[in-house]
Structure 1
Amino acid sequence: PPVIRQGPVNQTVAVDGTFVLSCVATGSPVPTILWRKDGVLVSTQDSRIKQLENGVLQIRYAKLGDTGRYTCIASTPSGEATWSAYIEVQAG
């Protein structure tokens, strides 16, 4: 199964700030990276949210509603690994 070498870290972010959650995973084949927030798949349809090629999740213009537990899931056919962090968005 894959191994997450570097996962997201707990952060406190100001409203309208940008936060970046890293997820560096190794495995063979190369793991697929998915992100969930409070158990729900993060929608990259939202223009504020971008998943970069290296698995990093970038959220711009943070809103209070972005507060929650973000989990990186690295999966390969042989299994998966997860790593979570809590992000708190605070009003200015």
Structure 2
Amino acid sequence: MLVPSCQMMHVVRPVVVLLCLLLYADAETPPKFTRTPVDQTGVSGGVASFICQATGDPRPKIVWNKKGKKVSNQRFEVIEFDDGSGSVLRIQPLRTPRDEAIYECVASNSVGEISVSTRLTVLREVGCFPGQIHPYENVEIEGKQGLKREVWKLHVRDRQTRGVHAIYFGALCF
């Protein structure tokens, strides 16, 4: 948009000054982020959502990239805000290691382009075995307040699992 020079400014009239200020205020502006995505850690099979929002004139278009390429997959859903100021990138179900990456939100309009990156870390699913479990051996380790490490043995389908595990609601999880 062309901004007038307001040649009549030497004649101090409130109407002319107000008109010039309104025309200057209507100038195009580059994108500026108002909300940026934050790094997340999810579990395989779960969901991750990233939010990105920007202002500018004309209103910036938001695009999501993974490893430099626009996201496109049935598991990747881009949900635009009703007012068009931003969007949510939703990934479901999460897969490890292929979803673990740097994601980028790009906001662009005719005046400029900006981007911000965020990291998604995907942990493998926690496997749990319900039922009876028994301690294999208890090992005391040095640390503040006498930390205790327990080693368990579990027999599942003719396979033994031995290692450091956690107990959740009576089930052995690894």
Which band: TM-score by shorter chain? Answer: over 0.9
Q: For 1:22 and 1:29, how far apart are their aligned partners in 2? A: 20
> What's 1:63 paired with?
95
Match of 2:75 among 48, 55, 64: 48
* TM-score under structure 1 length normalisation: 0.93
Counterparts of 1:1-92 in structure 2 under 5 Å? 1-43=30-72, 46-54=73-81, 55-64=87-96, 65-92=98-125
Q: For 1:53 and 1:12, how far apart are their aligned partners in 2? A: 23
User: 1:29-79 CA distances to partner (integer Å, 9 max, x unpaired)?
Assistant: 111010111112111xx2211110121111110011110000000000100
Q: For 2:80 and 2:71, how far apart are their aligned partners in 1? A: 15
TM-superposed CA distance for 1:7, in Å, is 1.0
* Paired-residue identity, %: 37
**Structure 2: 5+ residue stretches without partners:** 1-29, 82-86, 126-174
Name whichever structure is richer in helix by fraction: 2
Partner of 1:78: helix, strand, or coil? Answer: coil
Q: How many residues align?
A: 90
Give 4+ residue runs of structure 1 displaced > 6 Å after superposition.
Answer: none
The one-letter code sitting in structure 1 at the alignment partner of 2:123 is Q
Q: Which of structures 1 and 2 has the bigger CA Rg? A: 2
User: 1:6-34 CA distances to partner (integer Å, 9 max, x unpaired)?
Assistant: 11111110001111010011111111010
Higher relative contact order (CA 8 A, sep 6+): 1
Name the Cα RMSD after superposition.
Answer: 0.9
Partner of 2:80: helix, strand, or coil? Answer: coil
Partner of 2:74: helix, strand, or coil? Answer: coil
* TM-score under structure 2 length normalisation: 0.50
